[in-house]
Structure 1
C-alpha cells in the first residue's frame, strides 16, 4: 500500500485502512514501562489470578479435591506471571496460554486476558486466529477436565460467552483508541493545513503588493528616468523647458514617495488593513492622461463609456492599471511618439481598453525594466475574468487590448 493508492488516508492509516495503527501494534511501544503500564499490568495479573482462584474454588466444591493438583497450581501461577510479557508477543502468548488452559483450568483467566490484549493491540485477522484457537482449546478443556456439577451444554455456552466478551471488549477498547488517535491526527493535520493556507494567503498578498508596486512605481520612475535623461542630453535647453522638466521630476518623485508610503502602510497595517488613500478607478483615468501629457507625451483619450462612475470599482481599477502600464511601456520603448487610449463598452457587454502607440523614430535609449509588465497585465485581466492581448501593429507600433466583464 502506498500514498498514491490511498491519498485520503493519514500516515498511521496506511497500515490498516479500517483504522489507524495504535502504539504497540507492531511490538513494544515504549522502551520502558511507565507508571500507567505498571498499573495496567498489575491489574491484568490480579484479574487473571482472580479468575484462576474462582476456578479452584469451583473444582473444590465439586467434592473432588484431587482435581486440583500441584501441576494446576504451578501452571496457573506461571500463566498469570507470563502476562507481564504480553506487550512484546501478545499473539504468541495468547496461543500458548490457550493450549495450557486446555489441560490446566487455572490458566483460563490468564488465557482470557491474553485474548483481550490481542483484540486491543492487533487488527482483525490475528484476533480471528487467536479467537479460533481459544475456542477450540476451550471446548477441548470442557471434555478433558469437565466440571461434574455443571452440564456439558452449560460449559460449552459459558466458554463461548466468556470468549466473546473478552474479544468484544478488547475490540471496543481498540476502536475507541483508534478514534482518539484519528481525531488527534486530524486535528494536527487541520492545524498544518491552516498554517499552509495562511502561508498561501501571505504569498498571494505579497504577489498582489508586488504587482501594485510594479504598476504604480514603474509609471512614476519612468517619468523620472525620461526627463532626467532629457536634461542630461540637452543641457542647453531653454530655461522654461528645463524648469518644466524639473517640475515633472519633482512631482513624479513626490507621487512615487506617496505611493511607496501607501504600500508600506499596507504591509505594516494589522490584519491587512489598508490606508485611507482612494484607489484609482475609471473616473481617474482623465487624471492619468493629464499627468502623461504634462510629462510631454502626446496622448489622445477616446472614452466612449457614458457614465465612468457606474463601472464597478474592481473593473475600473483593473482598466486604469492596464492603461497606466501600457503608457509606461510606450514612454519607455517609444519615447516621443503619440499614443491613443480607447475605452468602450457597457453593462452586459463588458469593458474594452485598448492602448496603441506609433513606431519609435530614431535611436531609443534603453530604459531598464523587469519585462514582467505584460505578464502582470495578463494576470490582472485573468483574475478579473477577462482577456488580454498584445503585440506589434502593422505600422511598426505596438498595441495592447483588454476585455473585462461588466455585469448587467
Structure 2
C-alpha cells in the first residue's frame, strides 16, 4: 500500500513538472519585445523552477519562497508557482497559505514594475485571482485528507476496541467453560480415582465388594462422560441452555451418598425453613459449594469425617463445610488448583462472599469452607 502511494505521488510530481515546463514553452514562444538575454534567463529560470517541484512535498514552503524570488525575474515560472501554492495549501495551515499567496502577489507586482508597462493594480488583481484557485483547491484537499484520516483512525480505534472486547468476552467464556467442566467432572473423577485406589491398596477385598466398587466406578465414569458430552454439545451449538436440569438443593443428598460410598462419613445439617425457597441460580450455587467442599475433602483428607450444612442467617444464606486436617501422607488426586478460585468467582457473581482455610473447630484444627449468599425475600 505504501509502495503504491509512493509511486502515485511521484507520478503527480512528474505531471506537475510537465505542466510547469509547458508554461515555460508558452512564455518562450512569445518573444515580442524580449531581448535574447532575457529570453535565455526566462527559459533557464523557468526550467529550474519546474525541476524544483520534484522536492515540493519535502520542502513546500522553501520551494514556494524560491519560486516567488524567480517570479521577480520572469513570468515563465507561473505554472510552477501555481503548483507550489497548491502544495503549501494542501500541507500547511491557512495562515501559512495566506502568507505564501501574499508573497507571490508581491513578487508579481514587482515583476510588473520592472519588466512590463502595465497597470500594477490590474496585474495584482489578476495574479490574486489566479493564485486563489490553487490555494482554495489545496485547502479543500487538505480538509478532505484530514476527514479521511480522522475516519480511518476512528475505524481503526473502533476495530481495536471491538477486538479487545471480543478477546475479553472469549477469555470470560473460556473461564466459564473451565469452571463448568471443573464443577461437573472433578467430583465424579475424584470418586473414580479413590475407588480405583481402594482396589489397588486392598488386594484382599472380596468379590462382592469388588463388584460394588466396580459398579460405583462405572456409574461415576458414565456420569462424567454424560457431563462432558453435555458441555461439548453446548460448545458446538453455542446454546447456553443445558440439555439436562442443573443440579440444586435436591441433589445434595446424592453428593453425600457418593462421598459415603467412597468411605467419607458426611453429616449434613439442613436448617432451611420449608417455606423458604431458593432461586435456581442460588440453589445451583449452594450445590456447587457443597460439591467443591466434598471433593476437596476426599482429595486432601480422605477417610476423615465431614460436617456440612445450610441455614438462613439474617438476610443471608450460610453454606458451610468443615473436615479434619490429615497429618498422614497419601496419594493425592491430581487437580487444577483452580476450583476454589472458580467457586469464589461464582459466588461473587451471585452477590455473596466466601471464606476458607484452616480454623479452630470443636474437635480441634479443621479446614472450613463458608459461603454467604443473598437471602430471597
TM-score normalised by L of structure 2 = 0.80
> What's 1:119 paired with?
89
User: In the alignment, is residue 396 of structure 1 matched against residue 362 of structure 2?
Assistant: no
Where in structure 2 are the equivalents of 1:145-294 lying within 5 Å? 145-146=112-113, 150=119, 152=121, 155-156=123-124, 159-160=127-128, 162-267=130-235, 269-271=236-238, 275-294=242-261
CA contact (8 A) 1:342 1:355 kept: yes
* Per-residue Cα deviation, 1:15-52 (whole angstroms, up to 9, x for no partner): xxxxxxxx89xxx962xx34x85367436744885699
CA pair 248-303 structure 1, distance change in 2 beyond 3 A: same
User: Structure 1 residues 309 and 45 mapped into 2: Cα distance closer, same or farther (>3 Å)?
Assistant: farther
Confirm or deny: 8 A CA contact 1:343 1:353 kept in the other structure: yes
**Cα contact 1:265–1:274 (8 A) shared by 2:** no
Secondary structure (helix, strand or coil) at the match of 1:389 reads strand
Task: Show structure 1 runs of 5+ residues with no match.
Answer: 1-22
The residue that corresponds to 1:385 in the other structure is: 351
Measure the CA separation in 2 of the matches of 1:358 and 1:142: 103
Counterpart of 1:7 in structure 2 is none
SS in 1 for 2:333: coil
Distance in 2 (alpha carbons) for counterparts of 1:158 and 1:289: 100
Establish whether residue 42 from structure 1 lines up as the match of residue 12 from structure 2: no
Contact 2:318-2:370 within 8 A present in 1 as well: yes
Match of 1:405 in 2: 374
Deviation at 1:100, TM superposition (A): 0.7
> What is the DSSP-based 3-state SS (H/G/I as helix, E as strand, rest coil) of the residue aligned with 2:365?
coil
Counterparts in 2 of 1:130 and 1:341: CA distance versus 1, 3 Å: same
Q: For the structure 1 residues 235 and 369, does the alpha-carbon distance in structure 2 shift closer, same or farther, using more than 3 Å as the test?
A: same
Whether 1:138 and 2:138 are equivalent positions in the alignment is no
Matched with 2:330 is: 365
Is the Cα–Cα contact under 8 Å of residues 103 and 145 in structure 1 kept in the other structure? Answer: no
Indicate how the Cα distance of structure 1 residues 382 and 369 shifts in structure 2: closer, same or farther if over 3 A, else same.
farther
* Residues 144 and 264 (structure 1), Cα distance of their counterparts in 2 relative to 1, 3 Å cut: closer
Per-residue CA deviation, residues 188-221 of structure 1 (Å, 9 max, x unaligned), is 4433443343333333222222222222222112
Q: Deviations over 1:222-254 (max 9, x none)?
A: 212222232333333455444332322221111
Other-structure match for 1:353: 319
**Offset of residue 324 of structure 1:** 0.4
Greater CA drift, 288-297 or 167-176: 288-297
Structure 1 contact 48–113 (Cα < 8 Å) conserved: no
1:222 and 1:323 map into 2 onto residues whose CA distance is 15
Matched, 1:94 2:82: no
Q: Is the 8 A contact 1:305 1:344 kept in 2?
A: yes
Whether the 8 Å contact between 1:330 and 1:339 is mirrored in structure 2 is yes
Change (3 A) 1:66 1:307: farther
Task: For structure 2, list consecutive stretches of 5 or more residues without a partner in the other structure.
Answer: none
1:328-369 per-residue CA deviation (whole Å, 9 max, x = no partner) reads 1112222233322222339x9243211122455x74523133
Equivalence map 1:10-21=2 (5 Å):
none
Task: Work out the CA distance in 2 between the residues paired with 1:306 and 1:286.
Answer: 17
Rounded Cα–Cα distance in structure 1 between residues aligned with 2:155 and 2:298: 55
How far 1:326 moved relative to its partner? 0.3
Q: Distance in 2 between matches of 1:246 and 1:118?
A: 88
Query: How many pairs align?
Result: 368
Aligned CA-pair RMSD: 3.8
- The whole-number CA distance in structure 1 between the counterparts of 2:293 and 2:130 is 84
Determine which of 283, 286, 300 is the counterpart of 1:319.
Answer: 286
